[in-house]
Every structure is written in C-alpha cells, then in structure tokens.
C-alpha cells in the first residue's frame, strides 16, 4: 500500500521539522524540569473512505494529574483493505512510533503505553484483530491498552484522522 506521510505537528497545527525522537526528548527535559511526572501513550486510528484510507498517529504526553499535550501525524493510504488488516496497520504504526522513542523514554524513566483502537466486545467489527494486536504489542515489550482505556487512539488520534 502506498502511503503519504505528513510531518509531526501539535494540536494547534504547528509543524515540526525535527525527528520525533528530538521532539520527545526536548518535551521530556522541559516538562521534567518543571517538576512533572510524565507518562507517554501512543495510539493510531483510521477512517475508511470510498477511494482511500486516512490514518493518524498520536503521541500523548501526560503530566500525571496535570493535563498533557500531543504530537500527531497523518498518513493517507491509497488501497482499500479488510477491517482486520486496517486495525493491524494502526497497531503497526503505533508500535513503530513507540519503538522509535522507547530508548529516550528509558533514559528519562518515562513509562509508555501503546493504545489500540480495538473493541474488547466481540459484537464490534474491530474485535477480529484483538488477539493479534495484543500479542504484537505485548510481544514487543510494551504495555497494551484497548477500548475503553485506549484514549490515545480512540480519542486523540480519532480527532485528527
């Protein structure tokens, strides 16, 4: 599937030229110097249209008990795929992003969660990918969250897809 990536940006739309590793490290140093205890959650979401699929990945930086902020980017897929394949594409995007920043998080002792926009209730279509997604995320050594606890994907990335 051919995809077109956009730069990382914040919620107000400011685009960044630096790699995400630099953005995250600067944010951690700044926020920890202010005395905040941080946690980072990574999640992705998608929306299927007739001619393409839009994807979004969000990195949510939580100041525990004091709000937070996020970095996000969008991708546009040009090929229609099954619901299971689409859910696993979202998970792959989140895992790749988490893997890119995990060494920085370890360096500064910041915890990480990977959120999957997959429903734990079998009545929902996305549930077909739950076991595969959970195995992939846990197998990569990350903490896994699914709906209704996966706010980075189901609330944050969902808002920008």
The owner of tokens 């890119």 is 100
Cβ-contact 54, 99 below 8 angstroms: no
pLDDT score, position 1: 45
Q: What pLDDT tens digit does each residue of the chain (161 aa) get? A: 455 567 999 999 999 999 999 999 999 999 999 999 999 999 999 999 988 999 999 999 999 999 999 999 999 987 778 999 999 999 999 999 999 999 999 999 999 999 999 999 999 999 999 999 999 999 999 999 999 999 999 999 998 88
Nearest CA to 118 out of 39, 41, 62, 46 is that of 46
Three-state DSSP class for 17? coil
Enclosing H/E stretch for 118: strand 111-119
pTM: 0.93
Rounded to 5°, angle at Cα 135 from 53 and 7: 40
For residue 59, what is the DSSP state? E
Determine the Cα–Cα distance for residues 44 and 155; give it in Å rounded to an integer.
10
pLDDT score, position 79: 78
pLDDT score, position 133: 97
pLDDT score, position 13: 92
């Amino acid at each position: 599937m051919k995809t077109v990536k956009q730069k990382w940006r914040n919620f107000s739309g400011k685009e960044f030229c630096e790699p995400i590793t630099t953005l995250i490290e600067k944010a951690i140093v700044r926020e920890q110097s202010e005395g905040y205890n941080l946690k980072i959650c990574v999640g992705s979401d998608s929306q299927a249209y007739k001619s393409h699929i839009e994807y979004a990945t969000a990195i949510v930086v939580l100041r525990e008990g004091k709000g937070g902020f996020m970095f996000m980017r969008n991708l546009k897929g040009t090929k229609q795929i099954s619901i299971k394949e689409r859910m696993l594409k979202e998970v792959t995007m989140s895992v790749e992003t988490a893997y890119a920043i995990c060494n920085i998080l370890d360096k500064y002792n910041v915890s990480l969660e990977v959120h999957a926009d997959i429903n734990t209730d079998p009545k929902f279509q996305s549930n077909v990918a739950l076991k595969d997604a959970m195995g992939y995320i846990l197998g990569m050594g990350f903490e896994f969250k699914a709906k209704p606890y996966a706010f980075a994907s189901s609330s944050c990335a969902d808002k920008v897809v």
